Amino acid sequence: MEEKNISENTFNTIVVGGGIAGLTSAAFLSRSGQKVLLIEKNREFGGLVNSFTRDGFHFEAGVRALEDAGIIFPMLKDLGIHLDVIKSPVSLGIGDDIIAIETINDLVKYRELLRRNFPESESEIDEFLRIIRKIMKHMEVLYGIENPVFKDLKRDRTFIFKKLLPWLPKFIFTVGKINRMNMPVEDYLKTIIKNPALRDMISQHFFKNTPAFFALSYFSLYMDYFYPKGGVGKLSEALKNKISECGGEIKAETKIIEVLADKCLVRDANNSIYKYDNLIWAADLKTLYKIVKTEGLAPKIKEKFEETKTTMLKNRGSDSIFSLFLEVDVPLESFKKIAHGHFFYTPSKSGLGETHRKELYEMLGNFEKVEKERIITWLDKFTKLNTYEISIPGLKDPELVPPGKTGMIISLLAEYNLFIEIQKAGWLNEFTTEMENRIINVISGSIYPMLKNNIIARFSFTPLSIENRIGSSEGAIVGWSFQKTMPVVNKIQISDRSVLTPIPSIYQAGQWAYSPAGVPMSILTGKLAADKVIKNKIRTPNK
């Protein structure tokens, strides 16, 4: 972009990253009357909240269903967006023992499932269920009212006096309790359960070192899952339409590669330049810290920026995921009889043990010397003993598949570094095929025998595909890894600070801005960043 065109390319706020966080920020800012530009590197919007179609089958590229968490519906209501949604109940299974979780009473079914599979650990299971019930109570408080961030607190007196004020003391009390459960879920479970296989059944589909409260709260969130009619991506589509409706500008296929902070400019990969008063960065934060030029900024700001940059770059993204997509020539009814369309399934009750951690890290520590056969033997164990998240979009919305057929996504947590090493060694495609074959063998050999011989087409996304598509460091799917101290805010009571960066005109939002994150927190930080920008419209420069 030449200098003379810069005035056309000048905005009150530029939002970089058209994932769910950036879409939220841009929607609220354009509704407030600001001149807003949302920039997204891909053709499609939504980032990890995105659906796509292949051969008439609809699939999710990222998250498989959504949890309201007291955030998504209030956000939609605040923006006046109507979204058709369907409840998305979850099934849980071990071997051929499957239960459906539909109401809070189904917790009893979960206890029975664990007791049937681990009869020797009855009292530990009871203690574990007691804790889950306690957590559910905390969750009821946390999400007990519509999130105040989406309410007009200046005008809505009824909300303030009837809901917010009575809720606040309970909230503060509950936050104290939650903060005491911040230790890694694996360590927390060791304090109540001796049997390692039972601990694995409960925790092996969580990210390594997930804070105990966040992990165990999923048992309440299972009842909270919903699915937009037409696919998860409909949520992103609705927000994108809202931005356009409110006069916001949207630019797809535009990757930002440089931020000139002192001049409040961003540059894209085609060398076009855009000017902002405020910038919201709603994408990978390591990328932001690498591409910001700080020349010309006040020394104090520069110093703080360099300090934060060092911390950010030292940390890594969360675990990533391997997803296998299947187009199957079997009607939905056959799958419906077995489990819901959102299914957490563990074929073996032996547990992963150290397969996904110690054994893998040993191989990675010495990768050039590790023989292919050893990796394949490891892969055998990894796929047999793991827990899978299985999603069948057609069981949530039957219009998402061609008649008589079923689309299925089978995924499991995967280590980014393994895929990097295998790529370097030159056999990524072969490894991916080996992994796909094993997953199909395990799932058709256990819960869905009809898969065998009925797969019309298949393809998969590795951690490297995620990194390439959404520019997420280490292919992370929920922001920062929990294995080190997270370099961002991680306490709900100070979540509004999570969107600040050392540079006054630059804000951050999304899964990298607050930890632990997911769709609801990405939306919340998107809104918090928009609020800060609106409040600080007239800012002093960065000098």
Ligand X SMILES: Cc1cc2nc3c(=O)[nH]c(=O)nc-3n(C[C@H](O)[C@H](O)[C@H](O)COP(=O)(O)OP(=O)(O)OC[C@H]3O[C@@H](n4cnc5c(N)ncnc54)[C@H](O)[C@@H]3O)c2cc1C
Which stretches of the chain bind ligand X, using CB under 6 A?
16-22, 39-42, 47-49, 62-64, 67, 255-256, 282-284, 287, 321, 411, 470-472, 477-478, 510-511, 517-520, 522
Q: Residue 417 or residue 454: which is nearer to ligand X going by CB?
A: 417
Using CA atoms, how far residue 301 sits from 18, 332, 489, 502, in Å, is 27, 58, 19, 6
> For residue 498, what is the DSSP state?
G
> For residue 341, what is the DSSP state?
S
Q: Quick one: CA torsion of 25, 219, 350, 415, rounded to 10 degrees?
A: 10
Rounded distance, CA 233 to CA 40, Å? 15
Q: Residue 20 or residue 216: which is nearer to ligand X going by CB?
A: 20
Min. distance of Cβ 509 from ligand X in angstroms? 7
Min. distance of Cβ 413 from ligand X in angstroms? 9
Closest CA to 347 of 45, 98, 73: 98
Tokens of 539: 């800012």
Q: Are 41 and 255 in contact (CB under 8 A)?
A: yes
Min. distance of Cβ 260 from ligand X in angstroms? 15
> CB atoms < 10 A from the CB of 55, how many?
10
Q: Residue 198 or residue 309: which is nearer to ligand X going by CB?
A: 309
CA neighbours closer than 13 Å in the CB half-sphere of residue 282: 38
Min. distance of Cβ 467 from ligand X in angstroms? 10
Rounded distance, CA 70 to CA 54, Å? 33
Q: Residue 138 or residue 342: which is nearer to ligand X going by CB?
A: 342
Min. distance of Cβ 118 from ligand X in angstroms? 26
Min. distance of Cβ 20 from ligand X in angstroms? 4
Rounded distance, CA 437 to CA 255, Å? 35
Q: Strand 406-414 to strand 388-391: parallel, antiparallel, or no bridges (unpaired)?
A: antiparallel
Min. distance of Cβ 61 from ligand X in angstroms? 7
Q: Residue 347 or residue 510: which is nearer to ligand X going by CB?
A: 510
Min. distance of Cβ 460 from ligand X in angstroms? 12
Rounded distance, CA 409 to CA 460, Å? 9
Which residue minimizes CB distance to ligand X? Answer: 19
Outline where 233-341 has alpha helix (H): 233-245, 285-291, 299-314, 332-336
- DSSP string covering 416-446: HHHHHHHHHTT-HHHHHHHHHHHHHHHHHTT
Q: Residue 407 or residue 518: which is nearer to ligand X going by CB?
A: 518
Q: Residue 255 or residue 497: which is nearer to ligand X going by CB?
A: 255
Q: Residue 47 or residue 93: which is nearer to ligand X going by CB?
A: 47
User: What crossing angle do the helices spanning 372-385 and 358-365 adopt, rounded to 10°?
Assistant: 160
Rounded distance, CA 174 to CA 211, Å? 16
Rounded distance, CA 160 to CA 166, Å? 9
Closest CA to 49 of 512, 528, 510: 510
Min. distance of Cβ 449 from ligand X in angstroms? 25
Q: Residue 487 or residue 518: which is nearer to ligand X going by CB?
A: 518
Min. distance of Cβ 3 from ligand X in angstroms? 22
Q: Residue 198 or residue 324: which is nearer to ligand X going by CB?
A: 324
Closest CA to 496 of 148, 24, 166: 148
Compute the chain's Rg from CA coordinates: 23
Min. distance of Cβ 76 from ligand X in angstroms? 16
Q: Residue 118 or residue 382: which is nearer to ligand X going by CB?
A: 382
